[in-house]
Amino acid sequence: MSLWPVYTGSSEPHDGIAELPAPPPWRDFDGGPELATPAEADDTSATSPDRRHRARTYRATDRAVQLVNAALYLRRPLLVTGPPGSGKSSLAYAVARELRLGPVLRWNITSRTTLHDGLYQYDPLSRLYAAARDARPDGGPPPRSGPDSGPDSGSGPGLATDGTLQDHLRLGPLGTALLPYGRPRALLIDEIDKSDLDLPNDLLNILEEGQYEIPELVRSARHTPTAEVMVDGTDERVEVTRGRVRCRAFPFVVLTSNGEREFPPAFLRRCVRLELHQPRADHLEHIVRAHLGEPDAYARELIGRFLDRGTEGELATDQLLNAIYLTGVAGLDASSRDELAEQLMPYLSRTGEEPDEF
């Protein structure tokens, strides 16, 4: 019997990911030792109430369900393009919740973001301060009982035991997602189109190979073959051997883009690509029902007005939800409700809009 689809879009959590078929031979990873997946996103404070609500109420289109499953089966990143408010980032939370992939690891991209930021952060200054704090009272050099306090540790001789390298290094969201978890983690790389031109190319090798090195730990491996480093989002530690990390279950990676730039062909061919559009009337009604309950007559009127206005400019589904909620609870008369709804649904951009004159 076919297991397709693993992700159904039903929003009901299940363990279908455990039945995912073996990966293609060219996407098979063997990192270890195997790590247990953290608790579900709904059971941890690491996920905000807003994100938990969006994960429960997200309504995926049939096309989105198909391409999410393609990304899961092929162990490839999912590049999601669409206008603001079309549900690009919410998709990652919805998939993580339904498939019990644990808290979503989120990496927000800016024009200054580098690959290093996503893999790990190391603070050599805090390590030096820790060494100075723990120096002996007589003014002599700090004790050298720490096995990674030698010249190969990356910060020079004379560091105290409490100033060891692993205490000042934390894996980033990408670095954490590539740990050898038994089932895939969910990684959201948000607004990749805002990045420097080099970042998509820099990601190619990491996402292709499913592994990376931490040079500071590689240099100290002669003295300390293993290190327990902190992971993104918590103070938990995982063991890294000789500074090398390799995944076991390739993470479910969602890269979102507002379509503001083109990506290199080499990057695109390694991704499953999904383009989201503003939902149609029936899908909008499902979204409203999931968030706010059965829409009344006025809410249906606002849905129709939202769709009509959408032909003249860009709107976000969030604006419609805000308008339906507030006009329903504010206790206004009909005229005031219409005025308020109009104010809550301004165009984000206009079709064929002329630039402002100053």
**Contact at 8 Å (CB) between 302 and 319?**
no
CB-CB neighbours of 145 under 10 Å: 8
**Per-domain residue ranges of the chain:** 16-120+167-275, 281-347
pLDDT of residue 351: 62
Q: Cα dist. 267→122, 263, 271, 339 in Å?
A: 28, 7, 7, 46
pLDDT of residue 355: 42
pLDDT of residue 221: 85
**Contact at 8 Å (CB) between 211 and 175?**
no
CB-CB neighbours of 114 under 10 Å: 12
Q: What's the rounded Cα separation, in Å, for the pair 40 and 44? A: 7
- CATH topology for 16-120+167-275? Rossmann fold (3.40.50)
pLDDT of residue 343: 92
H-helix or E-strand spanning residue 340: helix 334-344
Report CA 56 to chain centroid distance, whole Å: 17
H-helix or E-strand spanning residue 226: strand 226-230
CA 246, 249, 250 angle in degrees (round to 5)?
A: 75
Q: What's the rounded Cα separation, in Å, for the pair 289 and 286? A: 5
pTM across the whole model: 0.83
**Contact at 8 Å (CB) between 279 and 213?**
no
Residue 299 burial class via C-beta count within 10 angstroms: exposed 0-12, middle 13-18, buried 19 and up: buried
User: How many Cα atoms are found within 13 Å in the side-chain-facing hemisphere of 27?
Assistant: 18
Tens of pLDDT, residue by residue, the chain (358 residues): 357 899 999 989 999 999 999 999 999 999 999 999 887 655 444 567 878 888 899 999 999 999 999 999 999 999 999 988 888 999 999 999 999 999 999 999 999 999 999 999 987 676 666 666 666 555 455 444 444 444 344 434 333 333 478 888 999 999 999 999 999 999 999 999 999 989 999 999 999 999 999 999 999 888 889 999 999 988 899 999 999 999 999 999 999 999 888 999 999 999 999 999 888 888 899 999 999 999 999 999 999 999 998 888 888 899 999 999 998 888 888 889 899 999 999 988 776 554 444 3
pLDDT of residue 151: 39
pLDDT of residue 2: 56
Beta-carbon contacts of 301 under 8 Å, excluding residues fewer than 6 positions away, are none
Q: What's the rounded Cα separation, in Å, for the pair 194 and 188? A: 14
